[in-house]
A and B are shown apart, each in its own frame.
Chain A
Amino acid sequence: MALDNATVQQKVAEKFGEAVKDFTEPYDMLTFEVDRDKAIELMQFLRDDDILRFNFLTTMCGIHFPDNEVERQFAVMYQMHNWLDNTRVRFKAFLNGENPEVESATRLFNSANWMEREAFDFYGIIFKGHPDLKRILNMDEMVSFPMRKEFPLEDQGRTDKDDRYFGRFPANSAEVGSVTPGGNR
């Protein structure tokens, strides 16, 4: 409507300069990248500015890129929506692979509380300033972060799967367990 992607891009680039880059518009939604220490400042600017008025945090999630360089292995994706002008925007902050940390958005939006806990639970991303950062969906005793690409989907402790039916033979898979043909159980 009144607010189009070009205006948003111009205002954001004006305020943040080099910290925002890589503007694209896949499927008509403005998408860009922001430096990790400016991410929450950007969110506040988008929310409080008189012209931009992005009043709703639609969603946020983590993404894992194990093939990137170490500085860009994790990403946090935020998506915001301006209800008054019906515009959406998406921005990503790339985080360090060994030490993924970013400031928490809970002081701006209450809905970010559990969404950040979910990102922590799945990827191990630490949100500084979060009131209560602990696991939410998985068991509390779990030590690894299951949505990372290296974590396997299936339960590794099963003894009753016959690997031949899954196409797993010792020659082509390291995951073959101690299963005798016909199953153990």
Chain B
Amino acid sequence: MSEIVLKTIEEKYAEMIKQRENEDGSELSILNLGPTHPATHGIFQNVLLMDGEKILDAEPTIGYIHRAFEKIAENRPFYQITPLTDRMNYCSSPINNMGWWLTVEKLLGVEVPKRAQYIRVIMMELARITDHLICNSILAVDSGAFTGFLYVMQYREKVYEIYEELCGARLTTNMGRIGGLERDLSDTGFRKLRAFLKEFPVAFKEFETLVSRNRIFMDRCINVGGISAEKAISYGFTGPNLRAAGVDYDIRKVNPYSSYQDFEFDIPVGKSGDTYDRYCVRNEEVWQSVRIIQQALDNMPDGPYHADVPDYYLPPKEQVYNNMEALIYHFKIVMGEIPVPKGEVYHAVEGGNGELGFYLVSDGSRVPYRLHFRRPCFIYYQAFTEMIKGGYLSDAILILSSLNVIAGELDS
């Protein structure tokens, strides 16, 4: 890392270290929980001032994977920005994709048909399940329980197969089009989805039995890294971390989008905002997501899977290869020569970590004038320093895992 940052940190702590040395002879130490560390899930650094095992102060440094998404987005038409949004919260890419398409559809005034909305809801809830699965199983791994992770990764593979039926890719999905989806979910996709809904609850129950009431896990997680609701709101928390602190704020209920108002689901809320509450809130959200997917499957309406907007929706490939008009439209849309109104729009979706917002300023040209992502990880990671002060190093690792900080979302 750059010499400059380390020097400034050492200077900052030099005062405290000298003062302590003079008092009782024991020394404070500086520990670099560096960018590459097996327990930090992602690339960010914390320089800790330690008194033995206790943490007195921390200095976070981020930006080790800054890829300048906001700058790239100023040079790309709308269809070419979707792959960028994938790579922000890469554990749950469909949510990012759908959030982006909902913003663009709001700007262009495109109405999405019901069937497409329901399939989008299914994909978003599957993504939410996978995001929470990774977070909770890695939390268990960090406290020493490796088995749960292996069981749970199997079900992530099953969800990847369902994504592949719709968009062809496993992880960075680039799913959807303006006005709907690129193809209808095939019969194989529905069959796999039904099989998933039958097998997954059994396996997840097994995971919960292993970990949730495990004495060691509970001792390590309860009363560790708690945060009060007022502080959480001031630090800009949203999502499961805020709900664990007791505030039931969920964008799916507050500003419903893509037919979420048609579904019945509860919002789990914790009490003290500590690590165990965050773990339990995420678990409960997985069960609620399974409930939503079941309802969406049972009530799936018939109809088109995309809106009738030839100006914005890429024409099907058979026509592109055979029909001149479709070829021209395909070229125009990919290059971005589409009628875009001027204006500014903000749309938020409930991502795996909270309110994922897209602020789009358009000046009528083929590329956005300004695109700003409201990334929940970036905003709530500020509170990490305060949450670990006064605790032990091993607690700091668990707090970091339970916050579910994804490096791609942290540095845009």
Cα A26 to Cα B359 with chains together (Å)? 12
Interface size on B, residues (CB 8 A): 43
Asked if A137 and B411 make an inter-chain contact with CB atoms under 8 angstroms apart, the answer reads yes
When C-beta atoms are compared, the residue in chain A nearest to B386 turns out to be A110
Q: Is the CB of B66 within 8 A of A138?
A: yes
Q: Which residue of B lies closest to A134 (CB)?
A: B8
Interface mask (B235-265 → A, CB under 8 Å = 1, otherwise 0): 1100000000000010000110000000000
- A interface footprint on B22-40 (CB within 8 Å = 1, 0 otherwise): 0000000000000000000
- In the bound complex, residues from chain B placing their C-beta under 8 Å from that of A90 are 344, 346
Please choose the segment from A4-12, A139-147, A160-168, A176-184 that sits at the chain B interface, where 4 or more of its residues have CB less than 8 A away: A139-147
B342 nearest CB neighbor, chain A only: A26
**A26-B345, A27-B343, A27-B345 as given contacts; A114 in contact with B378, CB under 8 Å:** yes
- For B75, the chain A residues whose CB sits under 8 A away are 153
Residues of A within 8 A of B236 (CB): 56-57, 109-111
For residue A99, CB closer than 8 A to chain B, the reply is no
CA distance A153 to B67 in the complex (A): 11
Cross-chain contact of B255 among A86, A113, A137 (Cβ < 8 A): A86
Q: A27 to B383, Cβ gap below 8 A?
A: no
User: 1/0 contact trace for A53-78 toward B, CB 8 Å?
Assistant: 00111110101100000000000010
Is B370 an interface residue when CB atoms closer than 8 A count as contact?
yes
B372 at the interface (CB under 8 A from A): yes
Once the chains bind, are A114 and B382 in contact (CB under 8 Å)? yes
- Residues in B whose Cβ lies below 8 Å from that of A83: 249, 254
Name the contact of A137 in the complex, choosing from B62, B379, B381 (C-beta under 8 A): B62
Q: Find A141's partner among B2, B62, B107 (CB 8 Å cutoff).
A: B2
A138 to B65, CA, bound (A): 9
Tell me whether A59 and B357 are in contact (CB under 8 A): yes
Interface membership of B317, Cβ < 8 A: no
Contact A26 B343 (CB under 8 A): yes
Cα A147 to Cα B411 in complex, Å, equals 14
B343 — which chain A residues lie within 8 A by C-beta? Answer: 26-27
**Shortest Cβ distance from B76 into A: residue:** A153
Chain A residue contacts of B235, Cβ below 8 A = 110-111
Tell yes or no: A79 within 8 A of B by CB.
yes
Chain B 352-376 near chain A by CB (<8 Å), digits 1 or 0 = 0001010101000000011010100
Residue of A whose beta carbon sits closest to that of B66? A137
> Using Cβ atoms and an 8 Å threshold, which residues of chain B touch A122?
70
Q: Is the CB of A29 within 8 A of B346?
A: yes
- With A137-B62, A140-B4 already in contact, the answer to whether A110 and B357 are too (CB < 8 A) is no
A136 interfacial by beta-carbon distance below 8 Å:
yes
Binary per-residue interface labels of chain B (210-252) against chain A in the complex, 1 for a CB within 8 Å, 0 otherwise:
0000000000000000000001011110000000000001000
Identify the closest chain A residue to B361 (Cβ): A63
A111:B234 contact, CB within 8 angstroms: yes
- Look across to chain A and name the residue whose beta carbon is closest to the beta carbon of B64: A137
A42 contacts B by Cβ under 8 Å = no
CA distance A29 to B347 in the complex (A): 11
Interface residues of B in 356-412 (CB under 8 A from A): 357, 359, 361, 369-370, 372, 374, 378-383, 411-412
Is B339 engaged at the interface, CB distance under 8 Å to the other chain?
Answer: no
The distance from the CB of B10 to the nearest CB of chain A, in whole angstroms, is: 15
Task: Decide: B254 and A86 in contact? CB cutoff 8 A.
Answer: yes
Closest B-chain residue to A59, C-beta based? B374
Interface residues of B in 316-353 (CB under 8 A from A): 343-346, 348
A-B contact list, 25 entries, CB within 8 Å:
A27-B106, A27-B107, A27-B345, A31-B344, A58-B355, A63-B361, A77-B359, A77-B372, A79-B359, A90-B344, A110-B234, A110-B235, A110-B236, A114-B379, A114-B381, A115-B379, A136-B62, A136-B63, A137-B62, A137-B63, A137-B66, A139-B2, A140-B5, A146-B68, A153-B74
* Interface pairs A-B: 7 shortest CB-CB: A111-B236, A137-B63, A59-B374, A61-B372, A137-B66, A110-B234, A110-B235
List residues of chain B with CB under 8 Å of any chain A CB: 2, 4-5, 62-63, 66, 68, 70-72, 74-75, 106-107, 231, 233-236, 249, 254-255, 343-346, 348, 355, 357, 359, 361, 369-370, 372, 374, 378-383, 411-412
